[in-house]
Amino acid sequence: EVQLMESGGGLEQPGGSLRLSCVASGFTFSEDPMNWVRQAPGKGLEWISNIRSGGDSKYYADSVKGRFTISRDNAKNSLYLQMDSLRAEDTAIYYCVRDVHFAFDLWGQGTMVTVSS
Amino acid sequence: QSALTQPRSVSGSPGQSVTISCTGTSSDVGDDNNHVSWYQQHPGKVPKVLIYDVIKRPSGVPDRFSGFKYDNTASLTISGLQAEDEADYYCCSYAGSFTWVFGGGTKLTVL
């Protein structure tokens, strides 16, 4: 079955760090660019980061640039998001998402991140 | 990276058609790459792609869903409304340099 499964979410204090993981199965992970998209409670979707298939090129939304780092391990079919200097406004469900034809065709179930003291 | 503009809500009766607009700029929606996509999200569920590249439908998406674009505005039309179409809808555009921007979302109510 083609799927993505995130983990690593939880409660963290402002200024803290969290590392999210996403494991892919059912497709050739190493061939596809991957993204993180988040959704704050009751709010809309926000694209936050993209990594190309080889892992050499990475791109970020202004809202997370300099604080978040995307990475991947193609040997482990895994995508990661290192989140540093967390803020209350980073509270959201974080989705691991594959993009094909510049559209987001496969989504994980999401992992909830709450930033609060 | 400003969000695309969508109406907050639309509504229609079963069998009718509704259209949701999505307005951006010449750097995203209006760009010639035509990488505009639409997503449906039911409450508590994961988003699902309905349309990509402005007008293309992934396998399994009913042809009741159609997309269009003119200038800096894209639109999603849902024909023959059904109760299960009640959901939130998001447009999204590629904005160059491997970045994307979403719309704020539109809540569709089937009366």
User: What are the residues of chain A with a beta carbon less than 8 Å away from any beta carbon of chain B?
Assistant: 33, 35, 37, 44-47, 50, 52, 57, 59, 61-63, 95, 101-105, 107-110
The first and second tokens of residue B64, run together, are 């009741």
The per-residue pLDDT for B65 is 98
For residue A49, the model assigns a pLDDT of 98
Asked if pLDDT for residue B1 goes beyond 80, the answer is no
* pLDDT per residue as tens digits for the range B69-111: 999 999 999 999 999 999 999 999 999 999 999 999 999 999 9
Q: Per DSSP, what are the bridge partners of residue B65?
A: B78
Beta strands B9-12 and B106-110 are parallel
What integer pLDDT is reported at residue A25 of this predicted model?
97
Would you say B102 and A44 are in contact if contact means Cβ atoms under 8 Å apart?
yes
- B34 confidence band (pLDDT: 50, 70, 90): very high
Q: How confident is the model at residue A74, as a pLDDT?
A: 98
pLDDT score at A90:
98
pLDDT tens string, chain A, 117 residues long: the values are: 999 999 999 999 999 999 999 999 999 999 999 999 999 999 999 999 999 999 999 999 999 999 999 999 999 999 999 999 999 999 999 999 999 989 999 999 999 999 999
For residue B29 the two structure tokens come to 């929606």
Average pLDDT over residues B26-36: 94
What pLDDT sits at residue B2?
A: 84
Q: What does the pLDDT read at residue B50?
A: 98
pLDDT of residue B56: 97
Summarize the confidence of residues B50-79 as an average pLDDT: 97
* Nearest CA among B33, B22, B34, B89 for reference residue B61: B89
Q: Do A95 and B46 touch (CB under 8 A)?
A: yes
Contacting residues of A for B53, CB less than 8 Å apart = 101-103
Question: What pLDDT, on a 0 to 100 scale, did the predictor assign at position A96?
Answer: 98
Question: What DSSP character marks residue A98?
Answer: E
Of B47, B53, B90, the CB nearest to A107: B47
Q: How far is B14 from chain A (nearest CA, A)?
A: 26
B99 CB neighbours in chain A (<8 A) are 47, 50, 59, 61
Which residue is listed with tokens 């704020």?
B104
Write out chain B residues lying below 8 Å of A22, CB-based: none
Ranges assigned E (strand) in chain A: 3-7, 10-12, 18-25, 34-39, 45-51, 58-60, 68-73, 78-83, 92-100, 103-107, 111-115
Select from B33, B37, B46 the residue whose CB has the most chain A CBs within 10 Å, as the one to mutate to test that interface. B46
